[in-house]
A and B are shown apart, each in its own frame.
Chain A
Amino acid sequence: MLRYFIVMCIPWIFLLGAESLIFDPKKTYVVDFFASWCSSCEKEIPILSKVNAQMKDSNVVFIGVDVDKDKAEAVKFQAKMEKHFTFKVVNDQSNAIINEFKPIGMPAVYVIKNQKVCNKIFGASADFEKKLIQKIEECL
């Protein structure tokens, strides 16, 4: 019984340590890791906002994770991009969340379904919008 309880808790444990990121198994999540110093991340945020608006009626939830270690920089960047943040933004100054995902490049976008990573996009891409929609649709 205890073993079953521990196994069931594993997907939730790493998400509870930082500013909360809890995944509902019934929904599909798009998690975007960005930082103020990453120019490609800045370019991709309006696209994520656009796709988020397109998928408003679907079961897809967008979450932004700001990995800036400097809180002042994070606040400044989020204020600058405020109109594009039509989705929830979580601050990960301790890098606890991103250390669990360990992306190979920034920006990093993960599509999560059933509390598991279904698809991921790393780095800058010219056809990011098309790629993002395709990766989300593959997981629906």
Chain B
Amino acid sequence: MTKFLVAVMVVISFFSGCGENVQPWEKDVLASDFMQESPNKLIKKFHDHTYYSKEATKAGTSISGGGCGCN
């Protein structure tokens, strides 16, 4: 029983950080280059071009406004 409770507590502790919302003014890390889908801007442009051409649609591939919640 003790082992089970410890296991439950460990599992709960894994999810303890999931409930926190990142505020718009705390998105500095999210907005940084290394958090982008593709850190290389040229490769990203190439991928986006392929995506737009294939899907006949635009955007929806990343966080709008660079992750700062601007839009």
Q: Point out residues on A near B: beta carbons under 8 Å.
A: 33, 35-41, 67-70, 95, 98, 102-108, 123-124
Contacts and interface: CB of A to CB of B under 8 A. Distances in A.
Given A40-B65, A124-B65, A69 B28 contact: yes
Given A38-B66, A123-B71, 17 more contacts: A35-B68, A38-B31, A40-B68, A41-B70, A68-B28, A70-B28, A95-B25, A95-B26, A98-B25, A102-B23, A103-B24, A104-B24, A105-B71, A106-B27, A106-B68, A123-B69, A124-B71
Interface residues of B, number: 14
Interface of B: 23-28, 31-32, 65-66, 68-71
Contact of B31 (A37, A69, A103, A107): A37
A33 B68 CA distance: 12
Give the most central of B26, B31, B70: most A CB within 10 Å.
Answer: B70
21 contacts: A35-B25, A37-B31, A38-B68, A39-B65, A39-B68, A40-B68, A69-B28, A95-B25, A95-B26, A102-B23, A103-B24, A105-B69, A105-B71, A106-B24, A106-B68, A106-B69, A107-B70, A108-B24, A123-B69, A123-B71, A124-B71
